[in-house]
Structure 1
Amino acid sequence: MNEDRLTALALGFLRGPGSNARTILGLAGPPGAGKSTLARHLVAEVERVEGPGTAAYVPLDGFHLSAAQLDRLGLAHRKGAPATFDAHGYVALLRRIAADRFQDIYAPDFDRTLDEPVAARHVVRPHTRLVITEGNYLASADAPWPDARRLLRELWYVHTEDAVREERLLRRHLDGGRDETTARRWVNGNDHPNGEYVKAGRAVCTRTVLGSGLHEAPQRGSVS
């Protein structure tokens, strides 16, 4: 069986002493780094090896505030910034995922076509042993993100070169209906500062992996 290195690491959480416990793996990184792609890949590979429902995907993006709430708060122009997430709700869900092995636990997602969060698209089953969660701000030092981090077995930083990320983000905004001028303005004025904020948390992550390929990257100040 040819398991890529990161899949082997994820599968390692399910083997050995205490392997019947539920493990939560976090992926952090700036916008466009490839976190959701990696998370979905790992979930699919773990389920291929261990069986359906043994892994689950829980994205922070499901905790985006709705357009109505962003308008109420005057934050529509900063959508995607830390203040535009229900961070405490996300932490509460992680706590339940860590503690509750008896019920199906439903998790929201973000629908890029609607440009809105949607409820209950993902599910963590009672027999789920590995939950992979990803989001921009999991390595942030600001409250309540350290509370989320304490629930994680490991936190991996997903690194992709800025030029590649920005091209991905530009394409994402164009596909979402923005014209090129507006899309570039959004990348430069919103996605870029958010990404710079995220980079400051890299040192607290367990390891650094490459978002453009499923490989480990050289560590820069990360912990073992």
Structure 2
Amino acid sequence: MLVDDVVALVPSIPGRRVLLGLAGAPAAGKSTLARHLVTEVDARLGPGTAACVPMDGFHLSNAQLDRLGLRDRKGAPETFDVDGYVHLLRRLRAARERPVYAPDFDRSLDEPVAAGLVVPPEARLVVTEGNYLADDGEDWAEVRDLLDELWYVEAPRHLREQRLLHRHVIGGRSQEEAMAFIAASERPNALRAESGRAHCSRVVTLG
């Protein structure tokens, strides 16, 4: 059903492109769903039809977070380069004669990686996902206007926090450090993400 609806969004006119946004709390399953949708669209309509560009590539580097005193709030709205993300969305909506390169995020490094992703000119669908795509914050509200569709992805809190605990422990934190970070940062971030749910045209429940 979801895949059918996404395929229906893809423009049949060459040269046109649709942007689908997936918002939601940390570890709700946004990245997994985005990759699945891109894979299925490409399987039905041909390789290169769809591309995925996560918002996570616009995390500020750890060096910048340290400079700003925000390292312990990594993942909060103020720890992203929202202007850079908005600029990328504008580029994706503009003329498409050349590839568009976008930053990725390397969880093993816990750092963004410049030009880690590419959207080819022939891509007619771009799926982008992140916590704050539906956010009302002054710097974030412009994101919604640049998306053709915006869906909210949700999963039970206990499942999300299990995933976050695993993610942070794999990333090098002790279990105690990971649990403390989830309580101090991830839960407030989840509440902030949930505040934009009403701006989404569809709610997708995973888990």
Please report the TM-score for the alignment, with normalisation by the length of structure 2: 0.97
1:144 Cα offset (Å): 2.3
Within 5 A, what are the aligned runs for 1:38-77? 38-77=33-72
User: In structure 2, what is the Cα distance between the partners aligned to 1:203 and 1:112?
Assistant: 30
* Runs of 4+ off more than 4 Å: none
8 A Cα contact 2:149 2:201, kept in partner: yes
5+ unaligned residues in a row in structure 2: which ranges?
none
Q: 1:205-216 residue pairs with structure 2 within 5 A?
A: 205-212=200-207
CA RMSD of aligned residues (A): 1.1
Aligned ranges 1:46-195 → 2 under 5 Å: 46-195=41-190
Distance 1:132 1:14 in 2: 11
Give distance in 1, aligned partners of 2:19 and 2:162. Answer: 30
Identity of aligned residues (%): 56
Deviation at 1:211, TM superposition (A): 2.6
* Contact 1:35-1:134 at 8 Å conserved across structures: yes
Structure 1 spans left out of the alignment, 5+ residues: 213-224
Q: Residue type matched to 2:5 in 1?
A: L
**Deviation per residue, 1:82-110 (Å, 9 max, x gap):** 00000010000000000021110011111
By how many angstroms is 1:120 displaced?
A: 1.3
Cα shift at 1:20: 5.1
How many aligned residue pairs are there?
207
Q: How far 1:136 moved relative to its partner?
A: 0.2
TM-score (norm 1): 0.90
8 Å Cα contact 1:13/1:19 also seen in 2: no
Q: What do the CA deviations read for 1:153-174 (whole angstroms, capped 9, x no partner)?
A: 1100001011110111001011
Task: Say if 2:9 is the partner of 1:13.
Answer: yes
